[in-house]
Amino acid sequence: MEGLSRLEYRGYDSAGFACIHPEDNRLRYVKAEGKLHNLVAQLELFPVDGFTGIGHTRWSTHGASSVRNAHPHFDCEKAISIVHNGIIENHNELKSRLLQTGHSFHSDTDTEIVAHLFESLSKTHKTFKSAVVDLVSYLQGAYAFIAIMQDQPDMMVLVRKRSPLCIGIGDDEMFVASDMLAFAGKTNKVLFLPDESFSLVRKDMIELYYFDGTSLPMQVQEVQVSWDTYEKQGHDHYMLKEIYEQKGAIHDTVDFLHTVHDRIWDNMGVTAQDIVQLNSINLLGCGTSWHAGYIAQFFFEQICMIPARLHLASEFRHMPLFAQSNSLYVAISQSGETADTLEGIRLIKSMSFATVALTNVSSSTMVRECDGFILTQAGREIAVASTKSFSTQIAALYWLANRIALEKKIITSAQMEQAEEDLLVVAEILENCIENYKMQIMQTYAKQYAQYSKMIFLGRHISYPFALEAALKLKEIAYIFATSYPAGELKHGPLALIDADMMTFVFSHPDPIVYQKIVSNVQEIKARDGKVTAFAFEDQQQLIDIVDVAFVIPRVKPLLGSLAMTGLMQFLFYAIAKELDCPIDKPRNLAKSVTVE
Ligand code: AGP
């Protein structure tokens, strides 16, 4: 259960556990809907135990989040039990065939077909090994699954294609998981299953094979990963704790980058010469990480003066990839496990371009698969809504843009030091803004904003991607609909939405020219009796005077304006979600890390 709880970041729609009872070698199992604590409660009522067991926490892909669809799944005889991550894309076709041959199904999942297919193939093959070789020839998609069988009570079958799977080698015991964090503290010896491989594992023996059945050499690594338990330290939610950790996390990130200043290109898997010749940069990510990349696009273009292209990783694989020499592909991901981003990286690597992971997790799949990496120092982020990972990504990308500019001799060492100093100043401002408005938000504003069911968020230039991030935060934790536009786009259509029930948030910009345009856009809304809340900078009096509510932020360097607003925006939306009594740390339907495409 401890191991499973560490994997709950991959999903918390349901959970289940199965093991082979040592006395009769029969499979026993318990499943529960919802979060892992429901399974723990079930296990207290109906204890099961054994020497070989598998468990799973699910993020629903096929079929509702019910007990029926919770893993593990079984074959007809309930003699084979399977847990699975990923998606079997041709499950419909396989299911029809299995139904025709008399199999009966008890869930709506794609996973269950694997158990039935394995059941029928095991009957026609002399060995498990040849049954697995045959099995994988039928399966399309990405998958990592583990099977246990009554016939072989001391063995597990592991199969991996694209989704991660690793074996922790203990003393007369083995651990298998999608992430080695699950068994951190039990063993540091790890074997990461190569792509398109399978393994037969016993407590003291591992066999490893390619999908075609030929033996694979085993590469056991010693990896130092620890698991620390993180308490809320007096905060009501992890999200609030993490909002307040941002100042320290930005400091730690800048300090860390400062210490690796001279060896950063080695860490990133490139040479100083590559950087000098760099004439474009490509950024990819999903969700909040994509928004951080969007903001960073302005850093690379304005500070290093090279074109930056931003890619939504979930779309990337379906778009034409134009080969660009002297380019760098930076994948941005808090977890380093997001399947869409990983698939993007694999595509880029297949074309022999350099890939760099910007991530918060040193033991992640992305760090292993990319040519190099940059680590943010946010510390473990538990709340599903990204907060400190977003601000540290922005800080790291701002630092990187300056570091590239230094290598290209666009800026001086003194300017590089100033950039680091500016980040530390903004980290201070980020926290001070929360403190300045905390009481008003808790006592007044949270209640007022909680009454709206829809909002429009506007920004311009760098504050537009920030508006996108703000809308994502509000939707994800408070379930309030919010849509974002570059402020100048409002008049091209969405202005029609303005009425007394619509709240518009405007995120200003320190630059005087961009600011004036924002003021004009706000006036267009006020002329139609719309309600407007602004995040404005000090001295932006015209804007402060025309809006209904203004949160005023101290002046910072224009490119760091959004970072300065980050804490206050997150705190305000946290307070709204709290007012609405939402499950803030684990919002419905979501997972901290989305490991399917
Ligand atoms: C944001 O609050 C979300 N948790 C989500 O958008 C997240 O940023 C996205 O799924 C990408 O995750 P990653 O950074 O771990 O790759």
Q: How confident is the model at residue 324 (pLDDT cuts 50, 70, 90)?
A: confident
* Residue 321 confidence (pLDDT): 83
How does pLDDT run across 176-191, given as a tens digit for each residue? 999 999 999 999 999 9
Here the tokens at position 30 are 């318990």
**Rounded Cα–Cα distance for residues 260 and 250 (Å):** 15
For the residues 270-298, what does the mean pLDDT come to?
Answer: 97
Instruction: Tell me which of 288, 381, 595 to substitute to probe ligand 1's pocket, judged by most ligand atoms within 8 Å of the beta carbon.
Output: 288
Least confident of 164-168, 309-313, 319-323: 319-323
Cα atoms in the Cβ-side hemisphere of radius 13 Å centred on 288:
26
DSSP H or E segment with residue 221: strand 221-222
Handedness of CA 140, 143, 144, 147 (dihedral sign): negative
Mean of the per-residue pLDDT values of the chain:
96
Q: How far is the CA of 35 from the centre of ligand 1 (A)?
A: 20
320 pLDDT above the threshold of 90: no
* Residue 322 confidence (pLDDT): 82
Whether 392 and 377 have beta carbons less than 8 Å apart is answered as: yes
Percent of the chain beyond pLDDT 70?
100
**CA dist 85 → 7, 140, 179, 464, 596 (Å):** 12, 13, 12, 35, 8
Verify whether ligand 1 is closer than 6 Å to residue 470 (CB atom): no
* Residue 226 confidence (pLDDT): 86
Cα atoms in the Cβ-side hemisphere of radius 13 Å centred on 546:
20
Verify whether ligand 1 is closer than 6 Å to residue 359 (CB atom): no
How does pLDDT run across 142-152, given as a tens digit for each residue? 999 999 999 99
Collapse the DSSP code of 347 into the 3-class scheme (helix H, G, I; strand E, B; otherwise coil) and give the result. helix
Q: Ligand 1: which residue has its CA nearest to atom 7?
A: 287
* Residue 228 confidence (pLDDT): 83
* Residue 231 confidence (pLDDT): 85
Instruction: Tell me which of 593, 595, 596 to substitute to probe ligand 1's pocket, judged by most ligand atoms within 8 Å of the beta carbon.
Output: 593
Q: How far is the CA of 3 from the centre of ligand 1 (A)?
A: 22
Verify whether ligand 1 is closer than 6 Å to residue 469 (CB atom): no
How does pLDDT run across 234-277, given as a tens digit for each residue? 999 999 999 999 999 999 999 999 999 999 999 999 999 999 99
* Residue 344 confidence (pLDDT): 96
323 pLDDT above the threshold of 90: no
Find the distance separating the first CA and the last CA of the chain, reported in whole Å.
27
* Residue 312 confidence (pLDDT): 98
Verify whether ligand 1 is closer than 6 Å to residue 386 (CB atom): yes
What's this model's pTM, rounded to 2 decimal places?
Answer: 0.94
What are 553's strand-pairing partners?
A: 537
Q: How confident is the model at residue 225 (pLDDT cuts 50, 70, 90)?
A: confident
Verify whether ligand 1 is closer than 6 Å to residue 594 (CB atom): yes
Q: Ligand 1: which residue has its CA nearest to atom 2?
A: 385
* Residue 441 confidence (pLDDT): 98
Which of these, 338, 343, 291, 331, lies nearest to 591 by C-alpha position?
Answer: 338
How does pLDDT run across 365-389, given as a tens digit for each residue? 999 999 999 999 999 999 999 999 9
What are 201's strand-pairing partners?
A: 156, 206
Verify whether ligand 1 is closer than 6 Å to residue 476 (CB atom): yes
Verify whether ligand 1 is closer than 6 Å to residue 376 (CB atom): no
Atom of ligand 1 nearest to the CA of 386: 2
Instruction: Tell me which of 242, 243, 289, 374 to substitute to probe ligand 1's pocket, judged by most ligand atoms within 8 Å of the beta carbon.
Output: 289
Verify whether ligand 1 is closer than 6 Å to residue 287 (CB atom): yes
Percent of the chain beyond pLDDT 90?
95
Verify whether ligand 1 is closer than 6 Å to residue 566 (CB atom): no
Cis peptide, bond prior to residue 72, ω within 30 of zero: yes
For the residues 489-501, what does the mean pLDDT come to?
Answer: 94
50 pLDDT above the threshold of 80: yes
Q: Could you tell me where the beta strands, DSSP code E, fall in 91-210?
A: 141-149, 152-161, 166-169, 174-177, 189-192, 197-202, 205-210
For the residues 86-107, what does the mean pLDDT come to?
Answer: 97
